[in-house]
Structure 1
Amino acid sequence: MSATLVETPLLRLRAFRNLFVAGLVSQLGSQISYVAIPLLAVTVLGAGAGEVGLLAALATLTALVLGLPAGAWVDRVRRRRLMIVMDAGRAVALLSVPVAWWTGVLSMAQLYVVAVLVGAGSLLFDVASMSIVPGLVGRERLTSANSLLVGTAAGMDVAGRSLAGVLAQVAGAPVAVLLDALSYLWSALWLRGVPEPALPEDGSADGAESLRERIAAGVRFILGNRVLVAALVQGAMANLAFPLCSVLLPVLIVGQLGYPEWVLGAYLAMGGLGVLAGSSFAHLLGRRFGTGRAVWVVSVVTAPAALVIPFLDGGPWLWAAAAAWFVLAFRTGVNNVLLVSLRQRVTPDHLLGRMTATMRLLLTGALGLGGLLAGILGELWGLRAPLWLGAVIMAASWLPVHFSALRRSGPNTAGHPC
């Protein structure tokens, strides 16, 4: 990595700038659908807690089936080309939703299929995207690049979720889903301006392993690193807890408490603001405390806020829960910058896809399991049961970092592997 490239502002690097711009509107559209599709299921199709929970689970459980093969495959294909194809595929899948609604044939079955297709496309896209960043900016600048990318995504979370509530109320949820489909086409156009990086050299003796051998190499790499294991466990706990605390919010806030759709959008937008704030401060916290110690300090301080969420009700408790949601999302913003940068920094180029996919397999699988549990518990014991389970898991999710070597990394390791 040349000194000139290291000193050049990130957004003046053409390749990174195009990747950044490609994600702007795409992230905005994705967050609109995050709110609009469950609202569509509830308000148009009359879906209950179990159906909404299954819808959320299908959007993420796809990673359990495709996660490990996806990483091995991404390490062998042209990553930019794959990202463009996945954008186009997700756009087509989402366009089918407003078309079906306008023709009167929309069903929960179709929404389930769309959730699976979009989940698969997002999995492959994200693995390729995270694997391409080190080659665009250099490993020395990963924390700064991820801070910018995560912060921008969080800003789109705020705008998208707030806009979704307003759009769903004014124009209808199908129109909101249509905007998400168009955003993926926007992303594909901008990605055409990102140079296609060379395929990474394989670290094996002959580069001719079978798919199973390539997958196993990625899994062994992660399990052989105690710091990565600790980060994985705490991330899985948080990802299991988040959907337990959020999947049934459309049913609770709009269906049971009777608030208008914009209130749900505003509540969820607090999470986007939290991620934006956390990602903005992550670089400073990492330099001050070190990567691991910063993750530990922020986790200990913020995780107990989850215990406020189960009290969500009318009046002040609604906004107290929203404030707790902001605090928890702040922690997510910090972790998304510091731990993702750590993972990319310690992983060889030829293992980036497999490391990313293996991590995503378990982290996204936890999200899917949380969504499925939310639906089951909501049907069996009411809407408060998943909120309490999620709150307890989240409140304890700092423990894996506390009892690991990750906690003990100090200021002098902020930019280096722990």
Structure 2
Amino acid sequence: MTDRVTDTEATPPTTPPTPQGGPRRPPLRRSPAFRNFWLSRAVSGLGSAVTTVALPVLVFQQSRSPLLVSLVAAAGTLPYLAFGLIAGAVADRVDRRTLMIATDCLSALCLGSVPVAQALHALTVGHVVVVAFLCSGLSLFFDAGGYGFVPALVGKDRLPDANSVLYGAETVVRIIGNGIAGVLIALVHPVGTLTLDALSFAGSALFLRAVANSPARAARSGPRPGFRESVGEGLRFLAGHPTLRVMTVVGTLQSFSGGAIVGQLVVFADRVLGIHGSDGRIGLLYMAWSAGGIGGSLLLPRLRRRYDAFPLLLLVLPVGALLGLVVVLSTDWRIALFALAAWGTAYLVVLVNTMTYSQEVTPPELQGRVNTTRRMLSSGLGVPLGALVASGVTVSAGIRAGMATAVASITVAAIVVWVVRLRGLLPEPAAEA
């Protein structure tokens, strides 16, 4: 298959240049375009991390209803199921940079409507829930554009490094944002905190505008298919690519485990580790899981220089399952702390590895549709389903059994990749290209 792009989108190299041949490109940190994109994501991510805490607090202050607080959480995941296929098709039909700037600006307006409504004494819980839903949906469209934007920006040979930097920064700002959220809520009220997030989206849009010579949408010969056919085209590519199909299953199982872990960690800490109520050690457990993501972002580029994407799964998935078992069997919170950090490292390596592989093998004109579909299955289905199943198992069989659902999910993923490899069910890489 030949990748065709417009004259504004340079065709990224598919293999890294040898150290002896050709000019060496500067590292990503010296690329103004990538640096501006990275700053865009860091600024917006910091604001969103604060809002993740501020929105539920605001709803609870106004309603005192746990059900409505749960609706805010649901509003953050429903768009993946509702609009995942649509977002991918839109991203592959328009200029990706323009789409991302537009979604940032609309997100700023949505969040900015909350303090305006508060000032007019017209703010309602329904308004806040709708804002949460719209912002999550806009974030989905932004990500759909980014899936094709990043490979064209840095080249496919540097995707492991670029994705690791982006995911690592996302993890760092999430930790920082969650940590300062309580202070900001106390100083400027949850509504004021949302104002800061609105400003962060505006700042993100400005950084994106500074990305010079940005990749445009991928061109294609012949007439453009209808919207429904466009969606089907992406689905057929995903279903027809054997390795990518297996990796999609693995990514969904991995996300299932993440939903189970995060959803039951408070209960596990209380009933098994003896960390009750407002004990500050619960924060350390969450930080350990997130900090593991930083370790994974640093480790992935080194691993991808030694292993191809699929063989890397053969190694990391069993390690992740063993680390998860250590957490489940722990009775000392310190052992659980370090095991969670290591588990988080393996978790992020798998997720970023599967995402990177998908971007490497997907043609430019299909990036949005293929990768948004994968995200729809993982974030839209895997995470909430993992949280729901783990909570049900905890109620019926105890917290260790509930946490063990995460380990079981990763174990199934490991079995899948090993069975596929041992039975030779995947074609050789050259045959897949």
TM-score normalised over the length of structure 1: 0.83
Matches within 5 A, 1:389-400: 389-400=405-416
Single out whichever of 25-34 and 221-230 deviates more from structure 2: 25-34
Equivalent position of 1:353 in the other structure: 368
Q: 1:267 to 1:44 in 2, by over 3 A?
A: farther
Single out whichever of 304-313 and 336-345 deviates more from structure 2: 304-313
1:46 aligns with 2:64: yes
Amino acid at match of 1:369: P
SS state of the match for residue 8, structure 1? coil
Shift of 1:35: 3.2
Shift of 1:80: 0.9
Q: Select 2:278's aligned residue among 259, 281, 286.
A: 259
Equivalent position of 1:229 in the other structure: 245
Shift of 1:224: 1.1
Cα deviation, 1:396-418, whole Å, max 9, x if unaligned, reads 44333222349999xx98xx989
Matches within 5 A, 1:14-163: 14-41=32-59, 45-48=63-66, 51-97=68-114, 108-163=125-180
**Is 2:45–2:173's contact at 8 Å kept on the other side of the alignment?**
yes
Cα deviation, 1:85-119, whole Å, max 9, x if unaligned, reads 11122223233445566777655433432221111
Write the distance in 2 (CA, Å) between the matches of 1:252 and 1:130: 36
Q: 1:98 to 1:335 in 2, by over 3 A?
A: farther
Shift of 1:127: 1.1
Write the distance in 2 (CA, Å) between the matches of 1:333 and 1:392: 17
Root-mean-square deviation (Å):
3.8
Q: How many matched pairs? A: 407
Shift of 1:169: 5.8
**Is 1:78–1:196's contact at 8 Å kept on the other side of the alignment?**
no
**Is 1:273–1:326's contact at 8 Å kept on the other side of the alignment?**
yes
SS state of the match for residue 77, structure 2? helix
**Is 1:72–1:214's contact at 8 Å kept on the other side of the alignment?**
yes
Unaligned runs of 5+ in 1: none
Cα deviation, 1:273-308, whole Å, max 9, x if unaligned, reads 111110101111122233222222121112243346
Unaligned runs of 5+ in 2: 1-11
Write the distance in 1 (CA, Å) between the matches of 2:263 and 2:197: 20
Cα deviation, 1:318-350, whole Å, max 9, x if unaligned, reads x55444432332123212432222111111111
Write the distance in 2 (CA, Å) between the matches of 1:201 and 1:406: 39
Q: 1:302 to 1:156 in 2, by over 3 A?
A: same
Write the distance in 1 (CA, Å) between the matches of 2:190 and 2:393: 24
- Give the greater-gyration-radius structure (CA): 2
Q: 1:328 to 1:93 in 2, by over 3 A?
A: farther
**Is 1:306–1:391's contact at 8 Å kept on the other side of the alignment?**
yes
